[in-house]
Amino acid sequence: MSRFTAFCNDTTDLQAIVSDIDRYDRKRVLQPNWKATSTTNLYQLNNTGHISQLYMDGAEMIGIADSGSAPSSDNQFQSAELDDVLFFYLAGTSVTELNSSVFEAGQDWHSLKNTVCKEQADRMRSYLNRPIYKRGNTTYQGASARDYDFIIIRINAILACADLIRSQDPDRADMIEQMALSPDGTGLLDKLKKKEYVMWNETSFRSESGVISEVSVNASSTGYIEDIKLNTPPLTAYDEVRVVISTAGTFSVGSASTVKYDVFVKDNTGLKTSKVVDGETITGDYQSLAYGARIRFQAGVYTLNDEWAVTFQSAEIPIGQVKSGQIYR
């Protein structure tokens, strides 16, 4: 199996873009001009072209290879491309009955959608010209709990739907594709190319400032890390800083706090292993974290071993739009 696979699935992701996508299965109706052969129950239809999957009144028939032996069981078909003829075996029928049925040629719908999704994923890779990484660890999958960023999944589905529809409705296909690739550069893939969207593994102004995520918080806890303050880029290229409550209690405005926390950073043995803050009391002000950053806790109940992660990722050129801000001397 290729390591280059589709980003979206071929069912609900496509239906989220085009609810009636299953109408565009690329089937073509064959002319009702069946003829009997010299073999009992074997019929042929000429001038059919390539057929990878045959349908009779919407039901899939059974294909056999063109290897010299003709179909010999009910509902079997064989496409002899060199002779441009289709053979079909069915007992207890006749030419008249076959010609009154609807025969369609196409591809297996699931296989077709899967192929198109993969092709459009390859198109995305070529257009972006930067890596798209899978995020198999559930810690980094976000609210969607998917292997790829939502923006990647959505673009793949848009392009796949447009490709599936194009042969039957080119105008609608163009309209759908412009959701991803627009002449004025406002499509989702255009914006991703211009780095207006940031993928999970890429450095952004947000990731440089630190991204807070819950690791393990007791259901009865109401306190949390409310903000991070960072006056300079973090003094690390990457780390997942561990913040854990070491002394439980209630932090209330107007009362002395008894709640304490520890902070762990990376060392040469791994992440979250080296303690840099030991038993600091939560005060509600900006307090020690790591790498020049400070955090502020919200008032509330804190339970022993409540834990958060603050992820820092820094680079010389973060991805994102240029914005203004204040600097202090």
Query: Is pLDDT of 328 > 60?
Result: yes
Give domain limits for the chain. 12-23+109-193, 28-106, 205-313
Does residue 81 sit in helix, strand or coil?
coil
Higher pLDDT residue, 219 or 133?
A: 219
Mean pLDDT for all residues in the chain: 90
pLDDT, tens digit (0-9, with 9 covering 90-100), for 266-318: 999 999 999 999 999 999 999 999 998 999 999 999 999 999 999 888 765 55
Residue 145: band (very low, low, confident or very high) from pLDDT cuts 50, 70, 90: confident
Residue 59: Cβ within 10 Å count: 8
In the chain, what percentage of residues exceed pLDDT 70?
90
First to last CA, the chain: 56
- d(C-alpha 278, C-alpha 296), whole Å: 16
Per-residue pLDDT at 2: 47
Strand pairing report for 225-230 and 249-251: unpaired
Tokens found for residue 133: 């990484």
Residue 147 to residue 133: CA distance in whole angstroms = 9
Rg (CA), the chain: 30
The whole-number average pLDDT for the span 206-227 is 87
Q: What burial class does residue 78 get, using C-beta atoms within 10 Å of its C-beta: 0-12 exposed, 13-18 middle, 19+ buried?
A: buried
